[in-house]
Chain A
Amino acid sequence: MAGGIKKFVVGCFDDEKVLFPAVKQVRRAGYKIHDVYTPFPVHGLDHALGLRETSLHTAGFIYGITGTTTALSCIGWIFTKDWPLNIGGKPHFALPAWIPITFELTVLFAAVGMVLTFCYLCQLSPFIKKHHFHPRATDDLFVMAIECSDKTNDEEVQAFLKNAGAVEINVQEAETGWWLGRYDREQKLYREYEKGY
């Protein structure tokens, strides 16, 4: 995965209304969009790019039930097997009294697990260095990076982007590696009959 230099044609758009048709045109023309970087979540852009839905919430559910089981099994074992405390002669297996802690651990496990998974999937961590295609991608520009293969004529792509309404176009080279994103393979190919977006 690591090593190697890739070439990208980068087109910047200043309005999401221009960006959407542009994404559609670029994909229809058969170019491979590496990614689109936006300053805020643009709803529907993931569908327009043909990205599949995230299953992060499923992970969250699994972490949650892990928390529930951890809490119930630990407290259950501690209070009935390991050290059964006599609290006012009440039953050792006092399920109703364990609900609060069970609930809290469910939430805790789900939240912590999801955030860690999120950081892992997006490869986010302090002291990480990534290639940023445009500094204004976090301010007011919608930055589309098109991956070039050996056969791609980048001038043609540039002209294409200009036609599609990009306000700023350039060619950049970046080292390939996991920090460029790991979801190339998730991107579905655009087909003519795919009219869902």
Chain B
Amino acid sequence: MSLLKYESQLREPLVDGNKDYHQVTEDILRPIEAKPTRLWYIGFYISVALLMFGVYSVYREITYGIGQWNLNKTIGWGWDITNFVWWVGIGHAGTLISAILLLFRQGWRTGVNRAAEAMTIFAVMCAGQFPIFHMGRVWMAFFVLPYPNTRGPLWVNFNSPLLWDVFAISTYFTVSLLFWYSGLLPDFATVRDRAKTKLRKLLYGIAAFGWTGSTKHWQRHESLSLVLAGLSTPLVLSVHTIVSFDFATSVMPGWHTTIFPPYFVAGAIFSGFAMVQTLMIILRKVFGLQEYITIGHIEAMNKVIVLTGSIVGIAYITELFIAWYGQNPYEWYVFKENRANLFSPYGWSYWLMMFCNVVSPQMFWFRKLRRNIAFTFFMSIIVNIGMWYERFVIIVTSTYRDYLPSSWSTYYSPTTWEIGFYLGTFGLFFTCFFLFAKYFPVIAVAEIKSILKTSGENYKVKMTDLEKKDSEKFYIEEVEHAH
């Protein structure tokens, strides 16, 4: 047990400025303890307004039926399933940051994991709306649950990828929520113990579950986090794999592809990180958390974006090549005519996707651009537009031309209520996120404290002196401390 763990000077500090434990608490809890700013109110009300529009759009859909959307005979899945896959994909970054990066011992995750996990949970909540309301008769949504019922009992089809999805998404949501909340307990306790009003003390007291910070509790907490991370790692990979099975196990040209699982997972992480960037860049600015979410953090995430973006690019090209190489005329037609032909009705969307997802992230090979905040923000939006179009391309370009040219559909464009539903989920997402940002510690306070002495700027400076001592002496001193 070495207290002053040595970390190379080549690594950038993860916490800038001259901080001690108390200062970390002060900095991170400031937004919770202060009154909300005007900017917060404006953002919050816009989100609530969007949410209300979404609620009205869904109300129309429930009352008048799926006909309120422009879905037709060959395009049974349109904007709704595109949005579903898009939101689920975004929901992948949070768990990747909190689980996979925990297992890889990436210290920088501590600055962003809390908000990224919150983003995951809200994104999965938004995603869930689409398949549920796509059912049409939403009051029968409970039919997807396998329970002994009076209809036979008529069970669900356990061999269907659509049911796998039900299990995958609900498990993913539950596990992410548990992971997130168990990490929040100690931080809620910090807020509780600093509370100045009775109401605040009561509410945060309830939320903190009576956390005391006992050594034994921390020991169990560490064990819990590690195992939950170990469980979430295959889980996060399984979720988008199963989403991709919705397409890949069908015999639709353009969907019937074995490359889908890895390609969907990479795409999901790609778009998820882009969304984390969008949110973090705003969050650090609005709450003055630049010392905790540093340029180094942003650069690290941009590296993930360029990696996953390139995997997605290779997947696109492989898919195109195999469509030609496989010599299935229907498959090749979808790729050649419905997608790659720029002058076909939806050719523009394929090339937009290619540009946004494959070409543009290559800019992040340059360090200067990776560390440029304005550029990163711009790119994060471009990537998410691109990833939305990826799902749109997969769904619409594969379905709008059937095997029989007589059933080729007319040009599919969404109705106001279809768009309204999508905007409504943005409302839901941002309403939740604004509430989170105001009432929850947006950065994991306890975790930052635990890396402060190895990665805090002021501590790293002190370590420089140690580094100059000869290594043997340094080691002996450390061992002395430890015992």
The residues of A with any CB-CB pair to B shorter than 8 Å are 16-17, 20, 35-49, 51, 53-54, 56-57, 60, 64, 74-75, 78-79, 82-83, 85, 87, 90, 94, 97-98, 100-101, 103-105, 107-108, 110-112, 114-115, 118-119, 121-130, 132, 135-140, 143, 179, 181, 183, 186, 195, 197
B8 contacts across to A, CB distance below 8 A: none
From known contacts A100-B168, A114-B227, infer whether A56 and B190 are also in contact, taking CB-CB under 8 Å: no
B228 at interface by CB-CB < 8 Å: yes
Identify which of A41, A125, A195 contacts B446 (C-beta below 8 A).
Answer: A41
Structural contact, B446 and A40, CB atoms closer than 8 A:
yes
- Of B174, B212, B218, B245, most A-chain CB atoms within 10 Å: B212
Q: Specify the chain B residue showing the minimal Cβ separation from A45.
A: B215
19 CB contacts below 8 A, A to B, read A17-B481, A35-B214, A39-B449, A40-B447, A54-B220, A78-B155, A79-B159, A83-B153, A85-B157, A100-B167, A103-B238, A104-B167, A104-B171, A115-B178, A115-B182, A125-B210, A126-B207, A139-B25, A181-B214
Known contacts A108-B174, A139-B21; is-contact A46 B215 (Cβ 8 Å): yes
With A41-B450, A56-B220 as given contacts, are A107 and B193 in contact (CB-CB < 8 Å)?
no
Asked if A123 and B210 make an inter-chain contact with CB atoms under 8 angstroms apart, the answer reads yes
Verify if B311 is at the interface (C-beta below 8 Å from A): no
Chain B's interface: helix, strand, loop or mixed, by majority? helix
Q: Tell me the residues in window 10-31 of chain B with beta carbons closer than 8 Å to chain A beta carbons.
A: 20-22, 25
Task: Name the B residues within 8 Å of A138 (CB-CB).
Answer: 186, 189-190, 192-193, 211, 213
By the criterion CB–CB under 8 Å, are A124 and B211 in contact? yes
Contact of A135 among B3, B185, B194, B242 (CB under 8 A): B194
Chain A residues with CB below 8 A from B168, complex form = 100, 104
List A contacts of B220 (CB < 8 A). Answer: 54, 56, 118, 121-122
User: Which residues of the partner chain A approach B164 to less than 8 Å between Cβ atoms?
Assistant: 100-101, 104
User: Which one, A54, A78, A94, A130, contacts B223 given CB within 8 A?
Assistant: A54
- Contacts A60-B227, A111-B231, A125-B209 given; indicate if A16 touches B215 (C-beta within 8 A): no
Bitwise, B218-254 to A at CB < 8 A (1) or not (0) is: 1111111011100110110010001001000000000
CA distance A82 to B210 in the complex (A): 46
B367 contacts the other chain (CB 8 A): no
Cα-based distance from A66 to B407 in the complex (angstroms): 49
A97 touching B158 by the CB < 8 A rule? yes
Residues of chain B in range 169-220 having any CB-CB distance to chain A below 8 Å: 171, 174-175, 178-179, 182, 185-186, 189-190, 192-194, 206-207, 209-220
A-B contact count (CB 8 A): 203
Say if the beta carbon of B163 comes within 8 Å of chain A: yes
Query: Which chain A residues border B171 with CB–CB below 8 Å?
Result: 104-105, 107-108
Assess whether A87 is in contact with B178, with CB atoms less than 8 Å apart.
Answer: no
Looking at the complex, which one of A83, A110, A124 makes contact with B231 (CB distance below 8 Å)? A110
Interface centre among B21, B158, B226, B231 (most CB of A within 10 A): B158
Query: Cβ of B21 and Cβ of A140 under 8 Å apart?
Result: yes
Once bound together, how far apart are the Cα atoms of A140 and B445, in whole Å? 11
Q: Is the beta-carbon distance between B1 and A43 smaller than 8 angstroms?
A: yes
Q: Does B167 contact A101, Cβ atoms closer than 8 Å?
A: yes
Q: How large is the interface on B (under 10, 10 to 19, 20 to 34, 35 or more residues)?
A: 35 or more
B152 beta carbon closer than 8 Å to chain A: yes
A139 touches B158 (CB 8 A): no
Q: Is B146 an interface residue (CB 8 A)?
A: yes
Closest to A64 in B: B231
Cα of A56 to Cα of B231 in the assembled complex, Å: 14
A104-B164, A130-B212, A179-B210 are known; give 19 further A-B pairs, CB within 8 A. A35-B215, A40-B450, A41-B221, A41-B450, A42-B450, A46-B219, A51-B219, A56-B220, A56-B223, A82-B155, A85-B157, A100-B242, A104-B171, A107-B171, A107-B175, A111-B231, A118-B182, A138-B189, A139-B190
Q: Which residues of B contact A132 (CB under 8 A)?
A: 193, 212
Residues of B within 8 A of A94 (CB): 159
- Roughly how many angstroms separate A125 CA and B446 CA in the complex, as a whole number? 20
Contacts of B21 in A (CB 8 A): 39, 139-140
Contact of B227 among A40, A57, A105 (CB under 8 A): A57
- Closest Cβ of chain B to A78, distance in Å, is 5
CA distance A17 to B209 in the complex (A): 29
B154 at the interface (CB under 8 A from A): yes
**Interface core residue of B157, B185, B217 (most chain A CB under 10 Å):** B217
**In the assembly, what is the distance between CA of A49 and CA of B215, in Å?**
9
Question: Whole-angstrom distance between the alpha carbons of A119 and B178 in the complex?
Answer: 11
**Which residues from chain A contact B221 at a C-beta distance below 8 Å?**
41, 118, 122
**Assembly CA distance A128 to B212 (angstroms):** 11
Q: Please indicate the chain A residues that have their CB under 8 angstroms from the CB of B4 in the complex.
A: 17
Known A-B contacts A110-B231, A136-B193; A40 and B186 likewise in contact (beta carbons under 8 Å): yes
Nearest-Cβ distance from residue A17 to partner chain B, whole angstroms: 5
For the complex formed, measure the closest distance between the CB of B189 and the CB atoms of chain A, giving whole angstroms: 5
Q: In the complex, A111 Cα to B228 Cα: how many Å? A: 6
B231 partner residues in chain A, CB cutoff 8 A = 60, 64, 107, 110-111
